[in-house]
A = this chain, B = another copy of it.
């Protein structure tokens, strides 16, 4: 839509709408990685066990492999006696079978001797004379034993597709001898900064009115946290042609395109125009019902999700955490929502909020009390002083002092 002056208008969406409705289809290609490089990477599909685990019946205790029936009825007062006919060594095949009235010494993890159906713990035995033990507690069949397929059965799914690999998943893959895994490549997220006032962080001297680019460094870190590969596109001046050319040039090589827009209304309009011309289907929304972060743009251009962020660093980071990180994760094949650290706390004071928008309030947390950190959205220190944030939902008009709130904590 455009008005008579050629100015584009788009409906403002809620954050919930955006999370449900803006679901780009793009997924990164598969790549094969060794386990040592696969932590937090996302398998393209489920991985199944090529064989059972542990693969042989194993002892879970130090003791003696026995026929359970030979221990029935024994007690401290009336021990049973068994002849020890051998000992199993770790990592080796048993060379002695258990026959009625005999036992074979077993280390924890050793292979159960043929003929045995239980292992009695060494604590419930004593050497009666050389070569003979007394047993003072009965064992049931299966006691002290892990079956050959008790941990994993051959063909079982051991790791699902679409969920980042955790340390224990890597352990399980190693245990069944799967030493490489097919995972989604990290989404390449190209980050452009715009604004005639913006200069690189390494600029030694600033002219009056210039500011260093804080947003790109912080966004790159959020991209990495979301499993993406940040690519710094650089600073583009407030010129629609230059911006469009820069975005168009980056599009083929990236999986997600992020633009931290200039802070003025004019600069934001130019960003929207440039994005609108990039490719179909184009802009999905321009404006989110969130504070801070209203002037957010979401688009999909030639199969690449495009996120236009507000010019204020703080607003940009708040929005990217809520909306951008889930998109990066999705493009990287992650199909689950990952838990975030959080804590319950009581608000130290009243916090006002307008209905119809999601309010993100930064807080410091101390001894169960969440104290809001206030300041205009231009202040980055509000974010660095905060331990986390609370969300005041669209339908609320604010929260009273003493309200219990859920604080999402910065890790």
Where the two chains meet, the residues of A that have a C-beta atom closer than 8 Å to any C-beta of B are 35-36, 39, 53-56, 58, 60, 62, 88-93, 107-111, 122, 146, 150-152, 158-159, 166-179, 195-198, 201-204, 206-222, 224-225, 232, 238, 262-267, 311, 313, 317, 338-343, 375-381, 383-384, 409-411
Closest to A111 in B: B209
A265–chain B nearest beta-carbon distance, Å: 5
24 contacts between A and B (CB under 8 A): A39-B224, A55-B211, A58-B378, A88-B209, A91-B196, A91-B198, A91-B207, A91-B210, A93-B208, A108-B311, A109-B197, A109-B378, A146-B376, A151-B379, A159-B384, A166-B411, A167-B222, A167-B225, A167-B317, A168-B317, A168-B380, A171-B380, A172-B383, A339-B411
Q: In the complex, A194→B84 CA distance in Å?
A: 28
Partner pick for A196 among B89, B195, B218, B340, CB 8 A cutoff? B89
Q: Are A108 and B264 in contact (CB under 8 A)?
A: yes
Q: Are A177 and B159 in contact (CB under 8 A)?
A: no
Q: Are B340 and A218 in contact (CB under 8 A)?
A: no
Q: Are A214 and B381 in contact (CB under 8 A)?
A: no
Q: Are A35 and B379 in contact (CB under 8 A)?
A: no
A158–chain B nearest beta-carbon distance, Å: 6
Q: In the complex, A219→B201 CA distance in Å?
A: 38
Q: In the complex, A173→B152 CA distance in Å?
A: 49
Q: Are A108 and B263 in contact (CB under 8 A)?
A: yes
Q: In the complex, A60→B310 CA distance in Å?
A: 13
Partner pick for A152 among B212, B213, B339, B381, CB 8 A cutoff? B381
Partner pick for A177 among B171, B175, B203, B378, CB 8 A cutoff? B203
Q: Are B313 and A265 in contact (CB under 8 A)?
A: no
The number of times this chain is found in the oligomer is 2
Q: Are B222 and A60 in contact (CB under 8 A)?
A: no
Closest to A58 in B: B378
Known: A60-B377, A109-B311. 18 other contacts (CB 8 A): A35-B201, A54-B378, A60-B376, A60-B378, A91-B195, A91-B197, A92-B207, A93-B208, A108-B264, A109-B262, A166-B384, A167-B221, A167-B225, A170-B217, A172-B380, A175-B380, A177-B201, A342-B342
Q: Are A221 and B170 in contact (CB under 8 A)?
A: yes
Which residues of the other chain, B, contact A53 by a CB distance below 8 angstroms? Answer: 380-381
Closest to A266 in B: B107
Q: In the complex, A60→B201 CA distance in Å?
A: 21
Which residues of the other chain, B, contact A55 by a CB distance below 8 angstroms? Answer: 206, 211
Which residues of the other chain, B, contact A225 by a CB distance below 8 angstroms? Answer: 39, 167
Given contacts A108-B264, A168-B410, contact A91 B209 (CB under 8 A): yes
Q: Which 7 A-B pairs have the closest CB atoms?
A: A171-B218, A91-B197, A339-B341, A167-B221, A107-B264, A175-B214, A174-B201
Which residues of the other chain, B, contact A110 by a CB distance below 8 angstroms? Answer: 197, 209, 264
Which residues of the other chain, B, contact A150 by a CB distance below 8 angstroms? Answer: 375, 379
Q: In the complex, A170→B201 CA distance in Å?
A: 11
Q: In the complex, A116→B225 CA distance in Å?
A: 43
Partner pick for A380 among B151, B232, B238, CB 8 A cutoff? B151
Which residues of the other chain, B, contact A195 by a CB distance below 8 angstroms? Answer: 90-91, 109
Given contacts A89-B196, A265-B62, contact A36 B217 (CB under 8 A): yes
Q: In the complex, A175→B260 CA distance in Å?
A: 15
A59–chain B nearest beta-carbon distance, Å: 9
Q: In the complex, A228→B286 CA distance in Å?
A: 42
Q: In the complex, A342→B158 CA distance in Å?
A: 24
Which residues of the other chain, B, contact A58 by a CB distance below 8 angstroms? Answer: 378
Which residues of the other chain, B, contact A151 by a CB distance below 8 angstroms? Answer: 378-381
Which residues of the other chain, B, contact A410 by a CB distance below 8 angstroms? Answer: 166, 168
